[in-house]
Amino acid sequence: MNSALLQQILQVGNEDAQMHALFADSFAALGRLDNVTLVMVFHPQYLESFLKTQHYLLQMDGPLPLHYRHYIGIMAAARHQCSYLVNLHVNDFLHVGGDPKWLNGLENAPQKLQNLGELNKILAHRPWLLTKEHIEQLLKTEEHSWSLAELIHAVVLLTHYHSLASFTFGCGISPEIHCDGGHTFRPPSVSNYCICDIANGNHGTDEMQISPTGSISTAESLCEVEVLMEKMKQLQECRDEEEASQEEMATRFEREKRESMFVYFSEEEELAPTRDVSRHFEDTSYGYKDFSRHGMHVPTFRVQDYSWEDHGYSLVNRLYPDVGQLLDEKFHIAYNLTYHTMAMHKDVDTSTLRRAIWNYIHCMFGIRYDDYDYGEINQLLDRSFKVYIKTVVCTPEKTTKRMYDSFWRQFKQSEKVHVNLLLIEARMQAELLYALRAITRYMT
């Protein structure tokens, strides 16, 4: 991480009692102050909830032993080739007494953990394919079976680390200086950038203005902010005046879901996972891209039939006490977080934009809210922003600095981090909804 930014963050931490306390708590819990924490500190209210939840999942009383928890974190991060998170949890796994032989490959871990590989793969890339039969296979494998409570713990860990891999790549987080790759000041991935550098202005102004369509002037970028704010205002006014029929709302959802399948960055390239990462999971060719490229249909998941608030929350809380509450708090903070600012503007109601981002992510996963007009998404999210969202959420290992630079050019870096918080929490909730619905169907 860039040392100048580190000094800036620590200075803010010293001036802000809440941030200082968060740094202290994080260091006490993890024995380190990692770069994920240092980037999230732009948003202390969210960071506090995130750290509390992660601490509970990894260290407090729960169905799974400590070394299993870190190994599942390794398995989940490895699906997205996130060597940063893999290496962190390799160290933690060994620290809590994990068997080093397991790190030679998933085939060396207990059969019980190997059996989790299929669930890990489907949740990470195509959660809509998850069925109660997948759950049954894990719960009824005789000597290697999982209990319901253990499975809930594992599912929450898997979704947590799939999403955290998205944040790591989405913000270009690099290893700590004492870790492998830490001296390079960039992540050991295709991303090749670090938000720490971006936030400190360690790149040319011209570079910041380049998008896939060419050079963009500062004046044009400022104009984009004004246009976006005007669209938000118009949508809020139109919503009060007219309401589309249920049939039209359903049509707009299907159209947006279909279009989202074809949102890809033109310079996409194939990435072969390194042996250090790929040994922690099976079927390296399985991914979201295969699904969308073959034009297969994503079934619609109606939130009115199964929602986090009415179904998922209570199931998690019943089988893994307190975790449902922690997750619910984290989802709400991410969804509702606002400083009423947009770039250089103050006193702005950003709720319409935040909802569009959240619902677009769920739309990509086939999740529909009957009361939302999906026509708003195309009004508020331009193609470069959609490309960034789709990449960070579905194939985070392919995120590039160019994608990061090409959307919201005049917004603050803290606002771009804010976007990433929305992305990872919407993604985690989407994965959880599919997993918890499958578990509920198995139970009933």
Active site residues: 82
Residues forming a β-bridge with 214: 211
Largest CA distance in the chain: 66
- Which residues pair with residue 302 across a beta bridge? 368
- Amino acid (one-letter) located at 286: Y
Measured over the CA atoms of residue 189, residue 191, residue 193 and residue 194, the dihedral's sign is: negative
d(CA 43, CA 421): 9
Cα separation, 172 vs 157, whole angstroms: 22
Residue 131, burial from CB neighbour count under 10 angstroms (0-12, 13-18, 19+): middle
List residues bridging with 342 in a β-sheet. 345
Q: Report the b/e string of 45-71 with b at 16+ CB within 10 A.
A: ebbbbbbbbbbbbbeeebbbebbbbbb
Phi-psi region of 129 (alpha: psi -120 to 50; beta: other; left: phi over 0): alpha
Exposure of 197 in the CB half-sphere (CA atoms within 13 A): 19
Tokens of 363: 């739309």
367 in Cβ contact with 301 (< 8 Å): yes
Residue 214: which region, alpha, beta or left (left: phi > 0; alpha: psi -120 to 50)? left
298, two tokens: 């994503």
- CB-neighbour burial class of residue 269 (10 A; exposed 0-12, middle 13-18, buried 19+): exposed
* 28 phi, psi to nearest 5 deg: -65, -40
